[in-house]
Chains A and B, each alone.
Chain A
Amino acid sequence: MAGFILKRLLQAVFVVLAVTLIVSFAIRLSGDPAIMVMGGGNVTEQDLQNIRQALGLNRPFYVQYLSFLQGLFVGDFGKSFMGGTPVSLLISQALPATLLLAFASLLTSIALSVPLGVYAAVNRGRWPDQLIRILSLVGLSFPNFWLAIMLVLLFSIVLGILPPSGMEGPESFIMPALTMAIILTATNMRLVRTSMLETLSQQYIMVARSKGLRDRVVLYKHALRNSAIPLVTYIGLQFGNLIGGIVIVERVFNWPGMGTLAFDAISNRDYPVLQATITVLALFIVFINLMVDVAYGLIDPRIRTE
């Protein structure tokens, strides 16, 4: 297991290097940070030169990239082009905000999708199954920003019980997490249902039933645990998508997270912030994938011994 983890960590280094290289290169293809700093008002070419000098942009690309990598190793992400805020400070605030939101969304989604999926599978073909499947189709079809706005209208403006934006108390998690979760649940639930149906048709389930075990035990101890593997894989993979989808949800809810940070950094051509944000997210996704592999071993002892 240790060797396996080590190998995956080495792979991660290459993944992160490749991602940072692509991002650093691509962001430099269009636009000029100097003009974003100057505001495009009363500027001369000399002013722009001064700014580029101050920001270190007149150096060749590979020097800029290497100095970024160098900074990575000593944990120094540099300073934002906008106002000179240390990037590490921005990330140290944004990362927990995004992770909390992502986990809250995932947990909500699991809490909703597992019981619903199991229930649908058990009642296969009967009306609860049909209803759940229709609801999941509706959930899949929602654009998340629309859902976000509807939630804000209902809970903040009509009922006045939840804050429409910002990250303050636990109550401010409800709407953003629900927005993300509803869409995740739609897919997760279908997955749980399919996976359960497949497991339930296995012979060992029949054996378990014929041994006289109670339905509940058969369902949760034997069937669900075996159907969990595709679900765990999928949720792991979903994490990457989740981080992608979170940008829009963060923007609507003014959530001070990584999505907001990356979005602003792209529009301002704020290279240090963008590079750092993407690096951290890439590291994180690699880490999650590693965790998924480790989780397999925990769920399925056969994988552990191999």
Chain B
Amino acid sequence: MKFSTTLKALGLTAAVALSPLMASGAQAAGTLTVAVAIDPGSWDPIDTFLVDWSSAANNIYDGLTARGADMKLKPALATSWEFLDNNARIRFKLRQNVKFHNGEPFNAAAVKFTFDRLLGEEGRKGPQQSNYTSIDRVEVVDDTTVDFIMKQADPVLLTKLAGYGAMIVPPKYIQEKGDAHFNMNPVGTGPYKFAEYSPKVSLTLEAFPEHWGGAPKLDKVVTRFISEANTQVAELQSGRIDVATLIPFGLAPTVEKSPNLSLLSITGPTVVSLRLNTKEGITKDLDVRKALIMGIDRDAIIKAVLLGHGKPIASFQADLSFGHDPNLKPLPFDLAKAKQMLQQAKVPAGAPVRIDFRGNDATFREVVQAAAGYLQALGLKPALQPHEPPVLLNDIIPNGKTGEAWHQSWGGWTFDYDNNAYLMYHSGEKWNPYYNDATLNALLEKQRTIYDVKEREKVLQEIARYVADQALEIPLYNQNTIYGVNKRVKSFDAPADRRFRFTETTVE
């Protein structure tokens, strides 16, 4: 997007020059205002996959489990759980005396209703059902006990119960008011209750003092929908929002230099790589793939384009991810060696390398231009092909119409390597149009049946090593999650997955 790059450049220059003069606006005490990019349109947990939904709705709802900013799993609406019948049945003891915002009691029936809805007709119309298909059904044992009957093993289930589609919803309310009403007037058990929703403008939540975890410290949380990053930064600078979630790397220094703002740059879930075509083109050859990895200086790209807000990766996952292996190192940057390897593989000078990428991603556009520069230095002939995301995601990649390489950006909120690896490398998956390897398939299937944490971690690490050995992609970087925060905000626990929970947060 030329428009947006120009905006960024102009905004950056001018904002840096003028930021010391900045005036600060006034904000109501006890009200925290957060800006996110997209209005999900519905606040029903089963209707969306958007992180922006969770940034707000994680305050409205609770799951059986919860995961805080420290990324550790802890009990929430379930106080304990045990695995029975050889892991085919998971029994949850539920928290007592919990009420929904409308006064309706939370109990085993509510859990059953939530999952019947998610796994049934209603859930089929939305994107969340597919994440929970390992559950066969939920059975009520007594008012405070439920059993999850599993269709297949799912070692990531407990994490998945902490968010999105698994958030517990009120049965009576939904049955009486209907789905359309619930979409626009959500009710949960969380620390903040719904107050007002104006589509495409804002969502206002109010404190729910009877929350089982104790009353939240803020009176109100307002979420505003602002899709232009420069506008979010302008709103942040003028003190009208407290937390901005859309800060391009180029604007990070502007926020950093503002006296009333702080920039939080933390490890996030998003990893970016250039996947390689193993079926056609020069990338068919393993040594060529390795040469391409070694020929691109990923550290330099992180420093120059991401301005340091990212980390090199050896496998397609963040270091917070379960399955990350600190001992696995990426292939080093070595232009001479890479050239030599290409020569040995008899790659002719000027061999084409076409890279398909998302054209609306301004940061990646710069990244891929830098990468193309390195490929040129290797004597290859890179061609950059931008696509509109729906075209790239729905046609070019799944139908195997890519060039030698394509842009893959991925960030599963579960922080489990399974979520990335299975979908990227198992044969027949939508995101894996070319590669089919029985050994890798077997490993990927095996880890999905193992509940033993240590054992499963070992298999996941083995997968990452295998993928690195086969050089299925050029692992570029794990990009940071960046927040711009007004200094009047205190006790803000910045979560890596952007699922805010403002129970302890206060504003001055």
Q: Do A and B bind each other?
A: yes
Give the size category of A's interface with B. Answer: 35 or more
A39-B50, A145-B3, A160-B22 as given contacts; A254 in contact with B226, CB under 8 Å: yes
A28 vs chain B, min Cβ distance (A): 12
Sort A-B residue pairs by CB-CB distance and give the 10 closest, nearest first. Answer: A83-B41, A160-B23, A31-B390, A83-B42, A39-B49, A54-B125, A164-B234, A82-B41, A38-B127, A32-B394
Which candidate, B12-20, B98-106, B330-338, is the interface stretch facing chain A? Answer: B12-20
Taking a contact as CB atoms under 8 Å apart, the answer to whether A166 and B201 are in contact is yes
Residue-wise interface mask of B (228-251) relative to A, using a CB-CB cutoff of 8 A (1 in contact, 0 not): 101100110110100000000000
B interface list, Cβ under 8 A from A: 3, 6-7, 10-11, 14-15, 18-19, 21-25, 38-42, 44, 47-50, 124-127, 129-131, 179-180, 183-184, 198-201, 224-228, 230-231, 234-235, 237-238, 240, 360, 388-391, 393-395, 412, 419, 423, 430
Q: Which residues of A149-164 are within 8 A (CB) of B?
A: 149-150, 152-153, 156-160, 163-164
Please give me the residue from chain B that is nearest to A156 by CB atom.
B238
Q: Say yes or no for A248: interface residue by CB 8 A criterion.
A: yes
Can you name 5 A-B residue pairings with CB atoms under 8 Å? A35-B390, A37-B126, A84-B41, A84-B42, A252-B7
Interface centre among B50, B130, B224, B226 (most CB of A within 10 A): B130
Taking a contact as CB atoms under 8 Å apart, the answer to whether B49 and A38 are in contact is yes
A82 vs chain B, min Cβ distance (A): 4
For the complex, what is the distance from the CA of A67 to the CA of B172, rounded to whole Å?
Answer: 34
Q: Which residues of A1-56 are within 8 A (CB) of B?
A: 30-32, 35-45, 47, 50-51, 54
Taking a contact as CB atoms under 8 Å apart, the answer to whether B41 and A80 are in contact is yes
Complex partner residue of B227 from A30, A94, A254, CB under 8 angstroms: A254
Q: Say yes or no for A238: interface residue by CB 8 A criterion.
A: no
Taking a contact as CB atoms under 8 Å apart, the answer to whether B183 and A157 are in contact is no
Complex partner residue of A158 from B22, B24, B391, B393, CB under 8 angstroms: B22
A residues less than 8 Å from B130 (CB atoms):
38, 42-44, 47
For the complex, what is the distance from the CA of A264 to the CA of B225, rounded to whole Å?
Answer: 12
Please give me the residue from chain B that is nearest to A51 by CB atom.
B125
Taking a contact as CB atoms under 8 Å apart, the answer to whether B15 and A160 are in contact is no
Please give me the residue from chain A that is nearest to B419 by CB atom.
A42
Taking a contact as CB atoms under 8 Å apart, the answer to whether A50 and B430 are in contact is no
A37-B127, A40-B393, A41-B49 as given contacts; A159 in contact with B200, CB under 8 Å: no
B residues less than 8 Å from A44 (CB atoms):
130, 430
Q: Say yes or no for A269: interface residue by CB 8 A criterion.
A: yes
A residues less than 8 Å from B423 (CB atoms):
41-42
Please give me the residue from chain A that is nearest to B197 by CB atom.
A85
Taking a contact as CB atoms under 8 Å apart, the answer to whether B231 and A254 are in contact is yes
Taking a contact as CB atoms under 8 Å apart, the answer to whether B234 and A152 are in contact is yes
Q: Say yes or no for A187: interface residue by CB 8 A criterion.
A: no
For the complex, what is the distance from the CA of A38 to the CA of B23, rounded to whole Å?
Answer: 42
Q: Which residues of A46-93 are within 8 A (CB) of B?
A: 47, 50-51, 54, 80, 82-86, 89-90, 93
Taking a contact as CB atoms under 8 Å apart, the answer to whether B10 and A146 are in contact is yes
For the complex, what is the distance from the CA of A38 to the CA of B393, rounded to whole Å?
Answer: 11
Taking a contact as CB atoms under 8 Å apart, the answer to whether A31 and B227 are in contact is no
For the complex, what is the distance from the CA of A43 to the CA of B199, rounded to whole Å?
Answer: 27
